[in-house]
Amino acid sequence: MAQMTMIQAITDALRVELKNDENVLVYGEDVGQNGGVFRATEGLQKEFGEDRVFDTPLAESGIAGISIGLATQGFRPVPEIQFFGFVYEAMDAINGQMARLRYRSGNTQTAPITIRSPFGGGVHTPELHADSLEGLIAQQPGMKVVIPSGPYDAKGLLIQSIRDNDPVVFLEHMKLYRSFREEVPEEDYTLELGKANVVREGNDVTLITYGAMVHSSLKAAEELEKDGIDAEVIDLRTVMPVDFDTIIKSVEKTNRVVMVQEAQRQAGIASYVVSNVQERAILHLEAPILTVAAPDTVYAFTQAEEVWLPNYNDIIEKVNKVINF
């Protein structure tokens, strides 16, 4: 076992799959020679050659579009969108095209494509780099959306995403890239998509979250423990599909829920999760489900981002409300 950062775990996952399957191709802007702007593909071109790890012209729709074409030739593309804020350029190629290929072709053609992309706030990026846009993809039938919360999950989920025969958007929170290390097995292993992970067990309230907010939620849980509140924290890992079985099991135990996401509140993952929880478990609820989310604005410029981003104090405040309801 090695101690790895999330970015190292991602590189390792790519290396494992490039080795395992000769159909895997890794490409994008600055991905080849330069090893990616975050070094996620560091050394891979050297190791696997330019035929399999390569730079593309600077055009997101083209990157996503060629992936569909490559898939028709039996490849398993792993393209990178350099920052997920650039995904608007590729929305037709993703939601309009690759998501629909299986259905459109009556199950005769598939798009086993994994689009990797950094996103997330707190690292002082310019505009359209940090926005949480997972909801745009999660709203599209045919797509899966995976968001790891740390190195171990990132490797297992990325390998599984690449092996999945449906298109996956794999979102990597930039703040998690190098913020901590974790034990990561050197061999290959997978974590099932569509399965949540109970990262902290508790009896009084369920915090449902994903991505960087898993850590804010864990920190909130630690603080709450001092006040005698025992919070359970569920890391969704996959925001489409969502593992409602794990959620409902927890809700039946705690009877109280706070949903936590970094994204702005409007029409996103939280709304989807909350509507399902009330539909499936309303008789188990002792209080309304509250949501911690960013305000309904575009992502804040750097100077306002610390206030804009939800933090553990926001979570504690909402938990106290549902506990004292």
Partner 1 sequence: MKRTLENIEEQFETFQILNEEGKIVNEDAMPDLSDEELKEIMYRMVYTRILDQRSIALNRQGRLGFYAPTAGQEASQLGTQFALEKEDFILPGYRDVPQLIWHGLPLYQAFLFSRGHYHGNQMPEGVNALSPQIIIGAQYTQAAGVALGMKKRGKKSVAITYTGDGGTSQGDFYEGINFAGAYQAPAIFVVQNNRFAISVPVEKQTAADTLAQKAVAAGIDGIQVDGMDVLAVYAATKDARERAVNGEGPTLIETLTYRYGPHTMAGDDPTRYRTEEMDNEWEKKDPIVRFRKFLEEKGLWSEEEENEVIEKAKEEIKAAIKKTDEQPKQKVTDLIGNMYEELPAHLQEQMEEYKAKESK
Among 129, 173, 215, 284, which one carries the catalytic annotation? 129
Residues within window 95-154 making contact with partner 1, judged by CB under 8 A: 96-97, 102-110, 141-142, 144
Residue 324 touching partner 1 (CB under 8 A) = no
54: exposed, middle or buried (C-beta count within 10 Å: 0-12, 13-18, 19+)?
middle
CA dist list (Å): 292 to 112, 122, 226: 34, 17, 21
CB of 247 to partner 1, least distance (A): 11
- Residues 178-207 close enough to bind partner 1 by CB under 8 A: 194
| Pick 179 or 278: Cβ nearer partner 1 | 278
Q: How far is the CB of 13 from partner 1 (least distance, A)?
A: 21
Whichever of 25 and 300 has its CB closer to partner 1, that residue is: 25
Q: Does 234 bind partner 1 (CB under 8 A)?
A: no
Q: Is 34 in the site for partner 1 (CB under 8 A)?
A: no
Helix crossing, 312-323 with 213-226: angle to 10°? 50
Which among 29-37, 158-166, 177-185, 283-291 is the span making contact with partner 1, rule CB under 8 A? 158-166
Q: Which residues partner with 184 through β-bridges? A: 2
Footprint (CB under 8 A) of partner 1, residues 265-304: none
Which residues in 236-265 contact partner 1 (CB under 8 A)? 241-245
Nearer to partner 1, 21 or 317 (CB): 21
Sheet holding 168-173, edge to edge: 53-55, 24-28, 76-80, 114-119, 168-173, 144-146, 238-240
Using the rule CB under 8 A, is 69 a contact of partner 1? yes
CA 13 vs CA 10, 20, 90, 130, 189: distances in Å: 5, 10, 25, 24, 9
Nearest to 118 by CA among 82, 167, 154: 82
Residue 70 engages partner 1 in binding (rule: CB under 8 A): yes
Respond yes or no on whether the N-terminal peptide bond of residue 112 is cis (omega within 30° of 0): no
Cα–chain center distance at 170: 6
Site for partner 1 in 10-29 (CB under 8 A): 25
Q: How many residues bind partner 1 (CB under 8 A)?
A: 44
Is 124 annotated as catalytic?
no
Q: Which residue has the tokens 């999660």?
A: 138
Tokens 């390998």 correspond to 159
Give me the residues that bind partner 1 (CB under 8 A), please: 25, 51, 56-57, 59, 61-62, 64-75, 92-93, 96-97, 102-110, 141-142, 144, 164-166, 194, 241-245
Active-site residue numbers?
Answer: 129
